[in-house]
Structure 1
Amino acid sequence: MEILTVIIPEVVGKVIEYTIVPAGRQVGYLIHYKRNRQNLRLQLKNLDAAKERLKHTVYEFERKGKGIHDDVQNWSREADEITQEAETFLDDVGQVRTKCVHGICPNLVSYHQLSRKSTKLVKKIELHVKIEFPSVSYNAPAEEIFATPSEDYMAFESRNSMVKKILEELRNPGTNLLGVYGTGGVGKSTLVQEVYRQAKKENLFDDVVIVLDAKQYPEAEKKERIQKKIAEKLDMDVQESQDIEGRAKTLWNRIKDKNIFVILDDVWEAINLEALGLRPMATCKILLTSRDRVSEMRTQKEFRLEVLGMEENWSLFEKIAGDVVKDDSIRKVATKVAKKCGGLPVLVVAVASALRSESTLEVWKDALRRFKSGLANPAYLALEWSYNRLDGEELKPLFLLCGINAGGSC
């Protein structure tokens, strides 16, 4: 009897737990159908408000150049999916209610199913709204402006083939110091920018750093300025109190266990890389560009960048000059003007841009006469002519300033 006294209440409790309680819950779905539906609408408004708050927060961080964590972006996508699911469900509810009004009796099965679905969606929304993030944003590394090629970029076969060869060497564990050389204005900077893009796209390295126009820095400050620029591009805190030797140690400690690629563009003379904190090796590859071979740098692989061939020269000129060269009479003269640019992209772009809006044949003939009659280097004649064609006196000093800074490093 004592055993029955213990067992019977327990059995009754289990019966209630597994039969009466679930049954009551199912009946509750019917009784509270309207309340569950209204609660879903209320929770949907709460979700929309949470989405808007996060949207504003993300917008403020993005304006400051911050990166947004993946879990935050995933939350927003999932919130949109839940919203779509709930709105579709509520539309279906409206259709069922309409059918019930015109029927003989309410569709109790549909009411039960819809009420039950409302409750589940409410719980789903409540759980999603309660999610908190340790942080929303992070300091995203600044992307180089040329990481995306400009619309004016033309992928010539002569340049594409060299980019492929350079990338092949970068994949070679035994090659760690490469050089590209060629006359000023031939397109070295444009070429290594494409190497930079491809190396980033293919994820060949943990970090890819490029320092353009290294020759622009004053000689006394060159090493330090280049070193600081590399450190900044690696998102390192540059300590002004450190000397070049101390900074070199810090830089080396940052990159020694990484797979890194550094491009130094337009180096006119030998640079002591180790003094900067760089050491060419399997995990630290370096690419230099210069007008002439820098033999002291002892590059393992060198590439000479030649001027554009006639076909590529004209293709670039035609693209920059635009529709004006479609006129047969102008086109005949334009091809001769383009040829005078000598296959140097910097000159092709300068001259074609200056003539882009000129639809008068005489202007084109005048340009050709100037190139033919000049005794000086055609490159200087082309630049001088482009300078004289500038509209507005305020543009000419800017043109000269750009020339001083660039020094033919293209």
Structure 2
Amino acid sequence: MDFLSAIGRAIVEPIVRYTVQPVARQVGYVIHFKRNLQKLEARVEELRAAREGKNIEVAETQRRGEGIHPDVQLWLTKVEEITAKTDQFLKDECSQENLKCLHGFRPNLTMLHRLSRNSTKLLQEVVELHERRRQLPIVSCGVLREEACIISTGDYQAFESRRPTFKEIMDELKNPNTIRIGVYGIGGVGKTTLVKEVYRQAKQDQTKLFDDVVLVLDVKKNLNPEDLQKKIVEKLDMKISQSDDETIDGRAKRLCGRIKDKNVLVILDDVWEPIDLESVGLPSVATCKILLTSRSRKALSDMGTHKDFQLHILGEEETWVLFENKAGDVVKDPAIQTVAKQVAQNCGGLPVLVVTVASTLKNRTTLPPWKDALTCLQEGSNRDDELTEKAYLGLEWSYNQLTDKQLKPLFLLCGYAVQWNDIVLDDLLYYSVGLGFFEKPYTVERARNALYSWVEKLKDFCLLVESDDDRYVTMHDLVRNAANRIASRDPQILALVKDEDEGGLKEWPDRSFLEKCTTISLPCNGNFPSLPQVMQCPALRMFLLEGNSKPLAIAPTLFKEMKQLNVLSWINMGIGSLPQSLGLLENLRTLCLLYCTLDEISIK
């Protein structure tokens, strides 16, 4: 009997394995169709959440100027592909029309089987990717990306009037007796564009005049010397010690040691006040060339420049060449060309204004918009500072041409919500979500895509420009000042800009203003009044403060009368503990506490 049983098992088990089990599995596809779809939808949402979490890590890593590990990038790409593939499957294959065929007295069992089987295959891929995230390496691989302007040359036009200046700068870089070189001129005249081209050519120079070339944009007058030092250290691919023992002096010695035996060019753009370069770690030696740009020649001479070059406004002919290039073929129309040349002439030879106005008028084939732009620019002719006033009027005219609903508030947000020219796109996303720019209940991914689309439209008008880092966009000083000038007319906005409002905020406005105020954006450095026990701001929707790490006394009842607050963003502040009244903000959608010192995070 045992022998017969063994023979029976030997015959039956293969039959079960190769016939009964596969049949049962195929039947299971039909029976469990609905459950398989539900599992797929649930696991895809889990995978999306994991991807968003990883994207946050990636954004923080990139914010530190570090590269992303290839395995992490590959995983994110595959997740993007499988989620898109699943979305397409659920949208097309499992459409309402197809699902109707699966119900009723004579369901389409063939289609039911196919859809269930395909959903199971997709589910397996989704689960495998979701599990693989546990084996991923750390996000950062510590590799710094090159500056974008090494590759991009689209912003630079070699005007004949600029060629001698550019050539002389390149010649002085080869002169062993010239260590520090300055370029100065009014805002918007093209200093940054010029030194970007110097940077690009120095990096690509086949003779290898320099072993290392470093470019730091938008230095500004308030940049902490230690922050500048860290930027230079990072761009030289040196490690920044996380030890609290490393002082600015210690780091300066390391930086000096790294530089002294090599030929190095350091370009510091938009310096407003003298910087003690030796204390940063940039020695005054022939092997370390420093190229500085500033609006003030005095700032350059105070830093000991050996040769200074003034960048002048463009002449009438070059202005027209640039204007024609940006406005397109429309200016060839005889009916428009005469007015177009007058518009170009009234841009005052400032490249930033020429580019912005011409880009706004691009493809405008009727005469009224051109005449409107001309009238607007001519209004500044009798002002004390005619050129600057022309710039503001021209930029405001471009702002008024924004027709999409969200573009104007987004442009103003870029002006008053960011203290420097580089605008972090993720910050814009957080603020935009908090302020309800997205009317529908968007996912984070869809909101980000919509925001990037709006940003591209502002770039089309040249109100925003590409940054050297794709995590940012840039707003020129003049454009940002124009944005703030427009915002300042709104009686519901209280906003000061760090590099423009020297006196700071000395006292809070009266209660009647605060009760109507919807937006507060302030740098709380120097002259900043203490926060009241209770801020009487019942209509406030956005509250932004940027400090200097010093402790700020915050009463537990501060937010008691801010029930409508949607966005709270405090940056670089010593907070201590979160005030109890934070728990009363029922409409709060965005809370950002960046680089803040917190002793206690609970709300008691």
Shared fold (TM-score greater than 0.5)? yes
1:239 deviates by: 1.9
2:168, 2:479 → 1: CA distance? Answer: 22
The alignment partner of 1:289 has SS state of: strand
SS for the counterpart of 1:215 is coil
1:243 is matched with 247
One-letter code of the match for 2:231?
K
Give 1:233's aligned residue.
235
Q: Does 2:407 align with 1:395?
A: yes
Q: CA deviation at 1:165?
A: 0.5
Say which structure is richer in helix: 1
Change (3 A) 1:232 1:398: farther
Deviation at 1:168, TM superposition (A): 0.3
1:209 partner SS:
strand
The residue aligned with 1:187 is 190
> Distance between the aligned counterparts of 1:337 and 1:188, measured in 2?
23
Cα distance in structure 2, aligned partners of 1:168 and 1:400:
42
Output one character per residue of 1:331-362: Cα deviation in whole Å (capped at 9) or x when no partner: 11000001111000100111011111311111
Q: 1:168 aligns with which of 166, 171, 175?
A: 171
Q: Which residue of 2 aligns with 1:151?
A: 154
Conserved in 2, the CA contact under 8 Å of 1:214 and 1:264? yes
Tell me by how many angstroms 1:141 deviates: 5.0
Asked if the contact 2:330/2:365 (under 8 Å) is kept, the reply is yes
Query: What is aligned with 1:303?
Result: 309
Q: Deviations over 1:54-99 (max 9, x none)?
A: xxxxxx959969xxxxxxxxxxxxxxxxxxxxxxxxxxxxxxxxxx
Structure 1 residues 398 and 158: alpha-carbon distance in aligned structure 2, compared to 1, 3 A threshold: farther
Contact 2:357 2:394 (8 Å CA) reproduced: yes
Seq. identity, %: 57
Q: For residue 345 of structure 1, what is the aligned residue in structure 2? A: 351
Asked if 2 retains the 8 angstrom alpha-carbon contact of 1:354 and 1:390, the reply is no
Correspondence for 2:263: 259
Partner of 1:336: 342
- Alignment-derived partner of residue 213 in structure 1: 218
Partner SS, residue 158 of structure 1:
coil
Unaligned segments of structure 2, at least 5 residues: 1-68, 75-140, 384-388, 422-475, 481-604
What amino acid does structure 2 have at the position aligned with 1:205? F
2:145 to 130, 142, 145: 142
Q: 1:200 aligns with which of 203, 210, 227?
A: 203
CA distance in 1, matches of 2:314, 2:372: 24
**What is the distance in 2 between the residues matched to 1:297 and 1:398?**
38
Counterpart for residue 384 of structure 1 = 396
Bigger Rg, which one: 1
| Matched position secondary structure for 2:257 | helix
Distance change >3 Å, CA 152–CA 179, structure 1 → 2: closer
> Secondary structure of 1:157's match?
coil
Cα contact 2:183–2:293 (8 A) shared by 1: yes
* Per-residue Cα deviation, 1:380-401 (whole angstroms, up to 9, x for no partner): 1111111111232432344345
- Indicate how the Cα distance of structure 1 residues 358 and 409 shifts in structure 2: closer, same or farther if over 3 A, else same: closer
AA in 2 matched with 1:147: I
Q: Deviations over 1:90-133 (max 9, x none)?
A: xxxxxxxxxxxxxxxxxxxxxxxxxxxxxxxxxxxxxxxxxxxx
- Change beyond 3 A, Cα 1:401–1:288: farther
For 1:201, the aligned partner's letter is Q
Is 1:315 aligned to residue 321 of structure 2? Answer: yes
Q: TM-score, normalised by structure 1?
A: 0.63
The 1:409/1:269 distance shift into structure 2, 3 A limit, reads farther
Shift in Å at residue 373 of structure 1?
3.3
Cα separation, 2, equivalents of 1:244 and 1:393: 47
**Secondary structure at 2:328 match in 1:** helix
TM-aligned CA deviation for residue 372 of structure 1: 2.2
CA contact (8 A) 1:266 1:409 kept: no
Structure-2 change in CA distance of 1:62 and 1:150 (3 Å)? farther
Normalized against structure 2, the TM-score is what? 0.43
For residue 180 of structure 1, give the secondary structure of its aligned residue in structure 2.
Answer: strand
Query: Which secondary structure does the structure 2 equivalent of 1:156 belong to?
Result: coil
Cα offset, 1:185, TM superposition: 0.3
Aligned length: 276
Q: Quote the Cα distance in structure 2 between the aligned partners of 1:349 and 1:402.
A: 19
The residue type equivalent to 1:256 in the other structure is K
| Alignment check: 8 A CA contact 2:391 2:478 kept | no
Q: Distance in 1 between matches of 2:413 and 2:184?
A: 24
401 and 260 in structure 1: CA distance in 2 versus 1, 3 angstrom threshold: farther
